[in-house]
Structure 1
Amino acid sequence: MKHTQRNDTLPPWIPEEYWDAIIQNDHTYDGTFFYAVQTTGIFCRPSCKSRAPNSDNVLIFQNTEQALAHKFRPCKRCKPTGERVPDQEWIHGVTEYINKHYAELLTLDVLAAASHGSPYHLHRVFKRITGQTPVQYIQTRRINEAQNLLQHTHLTVTEIARQVGISNPAYFISVFRKHTGVTPSHYRERHDSP
């Protein structure tokens, strides 16, 4: 069940009746308007059963062409264009989401909700398209950023771990060593030497 937001907190660009249609998954508004969520880069029909968005992140479009022109991708769940979203395009959107949010808590459920798919299907398609599981991709993204921070900042290993989304320094060191073959401190020494 989606939670409704107080009407006085709605942004001025969202008509109250449209917001109610989104929150209530009202199929009678399908075709009247489409809504896009800026944080996910996806647009939907009002009847979409995806998690309720934050109204501040919602944009309203009168047709799918407007949403596509603003670089939003159609939802894989409600198929607002009437066509199935190609897997390659869907996974590209998921990797973009990971690249923007890698420092946050990212679970398969979070990624599935953000990309409007099921966790199992997302895991299977992600691995087929990228050759990695979503967790492996997230770890690689985090370690790549950690390498950059080790080379270009004086942050401690613990600070870098937190900055890339790994709150446990010991776990960060273990994952870093697995990916690079060395500890973060040794990596930094190697790249600091003339």
Structure 2
Amino acid sequence: MFPSVAPPTHRHFLIHKPYGYLSQFIGEAKKKKLGEFHHFPEGIMAIGRLDEDSEGLLLLTTDGRMSEHIRSKKVEKEYYAQVDGLINEGAIAQLQGGVEIGIHNVRYQTTPCQARQLDPAPTFAPRSRKIRDDRHGPTSWVSITLTEGKYRQIRKMTAAVGFPTLRLIRVRVGSLHLGAMQPGEVVEVQTFEC
């Protein structure tokens, strides 16, 4: 009889990825990476990505199956985007219905999503690099919730409706929320309930 082997114990983390950091642990020496915030276990991976200019909730795990599930179209991801100008109902309706964007020089029609203006504007810790000031005109905030995640999709979607993104923060993945986490904060959780 063979001895039973215990299944591997996986570890899971939430991190508030700050502006200016890559969603990775190795890479270009001069770039800031997630490993600067915490001593993560070997085999840790980011579930999805937030580009260097984006902020917010990022999930990390040692469980590849969990990563695959959360990246699937079954799990919603919600973003708050600060956009250039005062977004209007027409632009919100376009976002909701899906817009055409370019992905690696190929035209792509985004799937319908949830979008709404945020009024009042959300409050977040100031970004490490100032966005701009009121001399350059007004800004507004929009919430966009989707289940797909193409390269720089939110930025491309808001630009397609005439309101370029100035600041992008992921606030929710499934039922997991950024909440009051501060930039760079890391929280270990038992599992992801998405």
Larger Rg: 1
Larger RCO (CA within 8 A; separation ≥ 6): 2
Fold equivalence (TM over 0.5) = no
Shorter-chain TM-score tier: under 0.3
TM-score normalized with structure 1 length = 0.27
Q: Which protein is richer in strand relative to its size?
A: 2
Q: Which protein is richer in helix relative to its size?
A: 1
